[in-house]
Amino acid sequence: MNDDVKNIQRFLDGDVVLMAEIKKRVFSNLVKHVANRGGFIEDVEDVFHDGLFKVYKKFQKPGFQLNGSMFAYIYRTCVNTWQDKQRKKKAPTVSIDSGEKLIDAIIGNLETDETASAEYLLFLKESEKLVQKAIQELSDKCREILLLRYYEDLDYEEIAHRLGVSDGTLRKRNADCKGKVKRALQQNLQDLAIIYPFLQKFLEQFKRSSETSQEQNEITF
């Protein structure tokens, strides 16, 4: 029995060592492929598992033969799966209110030399999605302040006038609301990092950046 046949059988048997090696060698490259094309973490996970299922069905066929590396074959299958999913999607709708300024205000400047890496881009995409989720869970007044400041790009004086508060009060409330979003983001990223370890390095940098900011007393609106 040659190595290809042995590996196919190990795959069909769910060999733990082999599956761990596949995860290590294929998944990381798939992350880069999907991230560079605007995908999210759950996209990678879904594509990876769908690809493995397709490979499993192929390997079950009598007489199936590999032409080249099994890892390369699995990777190509996953990439083709991703491309098929993209073709089936409807034309995307893009919101003009992306909240980029709020994302920048929350995350800040991380001390990393990987700003162009696929992993960092994926970290930013996940952070943006989690920030949007955190905003929806804020009180109405907190949400209004952040939307006026970072989405409508109004200055503090104009927002304070609109809300009928002093400039100082508005700035303090803004910092408090932003702090709530930041804490929610940290917690959600921490949960994700358990599943996706590559996020941990950016999470640690994010935490260090946050520690340099002045702590604000929590205000209930």
Quick one: pLDDT at residue 145? Answer: 92
pLDDT(94) > 60: no
Same domain for 159 and 58? no
Domain of residue 36, residue span = 3-88
Q: Report the Cα 49 to chain-centroid distance in Å.
A: 18
* Residue located via tokens 């294929």: 26
Quick one: pLDDT at residue 96? Answer: 32
Same domain for 189 and 110? yes
Same domain for 201 and 149? yes
Show which of 88, 108, 143 is a domain's final residue: 88
Same domain for 193 and 116? yes
Quick one: pLDDT at residue 108? Answer: 66
Quick one: pLDDT at residue 109? Answer: 60
Q: What is the pLDDT of residues 103-138, one digit of tens each?
A: 777 776 665 565 556 777 777 778 888 888 888 888
**Mean pLDDT to the nearest integer, 7-17:** 89
Show which of 63, 88, 113 is a domain's final residue: 88
Quick one: pLDDT at residue 92? Answer: 38
Q: What is the pLDDT of residues 24-51, one digit of tens each?
A: 889 888 888 887 777 777 778 888 888 9
Lowest mean pLDDT among 77-91, 93-107, 187-201: 93-107
What CATH number has the domain bearing residue 142? 1.10.10.10
Task: Please tell me the total count of domains within the chain.
Answer: 2
pLDDT(170) > 90: yes
Same domain for 160 and 123? yes
**Mean pLDDT to the nearest integer, 153-173:** 91
- The CA distance from 54 to 23, in Å, is 16
Q: What is the pLDDT of residues 175-202, one digit of tens each?
A: 999 889 888 888 888 887 776 777 777 7
pLDDT(216) > 50: no
**Mean pLDDT to the nearest integer, 88-103:** 52
Is 218 part of any domain? no
Show which of 41, 61, 88 is a domain's final residue: 88
Is 62 part of any domain? yes
Is 94 part of any domain? no
Same domain for 117 and 33? no
Quick one: pLDDT at residue 55? Answer: 92
Is 217 part of any domain? no
CB 178 within 8 Å of CB 105 = yes
Q: Give me the half-sphere count of Cα atoms (radius 13 Å) on the Cβ side of residue 169.
A: 9
Residue 22: burial class (beta carbons within 10 Å; 0-12, 13-18, 19+)? buried
